[in-house]
Amino acid sequence: MTLLQIPVAGVAINDARKNAETDDSTWQAGLSLPLFIPQVYCTDAARRLSMTVFDIPCRMPRTNTTDRLVDLRKHARSIVRILKRTYPDAECALQHENAFQLLVATILSAQCTDERVNMVTPRLFATYPTPEKLAAAPQQNVEKIIQSCGFFRNKATSLRGMAQALVERHDGRVPDDLESLTSLPGVGRKTANVVLGTAYGIPSGVVVDTHVKRISKLLGLTTSSNPDIIERELMEILPKKEWINYSHRLIHHGRAICIARRPKCTECPLLKVCPRVGLPPLQ
Ligand code: SF4
């Protein structure tokens, strides 16, 4: 026997319909009921049961591609609303004062925690405050300062190469378009999205880091493990104006509540809309 989130008849139906109409969210129209049914979140059987027997929507997306997209967009909007309420002021966790510093910090953050990067960057920024100074810095000196970030030789090479390209091709300024940014040494699409979104307020894509990847799957917004595919899928279902903050908020959520391997689901404000994909039922 499993606990299945499914709408029930009686008074609850009216409440559920009201929720579904006013809140624009068919995902919230369920109550918890113990049923002798296997885990069916991801099958059409539960949807048909819910629609035909109880005549109200259930939590899972439909499998028809168009209908599924409509369901996912509604689901995504519900999540965004709750994230906005919960983390109204979430910002980029990498400390920086300008686009150049953010670009440097984001390159350093590959395979490294933001906390570690924030420990290293004050000295790096004080020693090499401009692209010109970093471009002229000896490789060994940069390596020494960033050593604790991991992959320090490659990262030092990328940082110096990036700074040299800024000086040679962009008058020492960080460009504000995706193509120019991704043509810089050490700068991939994720790094470019971070800089464009956070430093320039340009929603060029969705930043998919380890938290965004993990929690988006738990929330049922994607089934992929490939960051490029996840980004494409999220861009399809999230409102464009939310692309930047969705990542900031999910990263905060991943640190505070939806912690890897020990998510605090019972304390989570997203619990009522989260299908908890892949997790065992709550006791
Ligand atoms: S309900 Fe649980 S799995 Fe879902 S977002 Fe919250 S903590 Fe994560």
The number of residues making up the chain comes to: 283
Number of Cβ within a 10 Å radius of residue 73: 14
What does pLDDT average to in each consecutive run of 10 residues of the chain (283 residues)?
Answer: 37 34 35 35 48 48 75 96 96 96 97 96 98 98 97 98 98 97 96 97 96 98 96 97 97 96 97 97 88
- The architecture CATH gives domain 210-273: Orthogonal Bundle (1.10)
- For residues 162 and 187, the answer to whether their CB atoms sit within 8 Å is yes
SS3 label, residue 283: coil
C-alpha to C-alpha distance for 204 and 244, rounded to whole angstroms: 9
CA 119 to centroid of ligand 1, rounded, Å: 30
Q: Is 190 a catalytic residue?
A: yes
**Which two structure tokens, joined as six digits, stand for 3?**
């606990």
State residue 187's pLDDT score.
97
Which residue puts its alpha carbon closest to atom 3 of ligand 1? Answer: 276
State residue 283's pLDDT score.
80
277 lines ligand 1 (CB under 6 A): no
Q: Give domain limits for the chain.
A: 2-86, 99-197, 210-273
Quick check: pTM over 0.85? Answer: no
State residue 46's pLDDT score.
54
State residue 62's pLDDT score.
57
Active-site residue identified among 74, 155, 190, 213: 190
263 lines ligand 1 (CB under 6 A): yes
Which CATH topology does 99-197 take?
Endonuclease III; domain 1 (1.10.340)
Active-site residue identified among 209, 217, 240, 272: 209
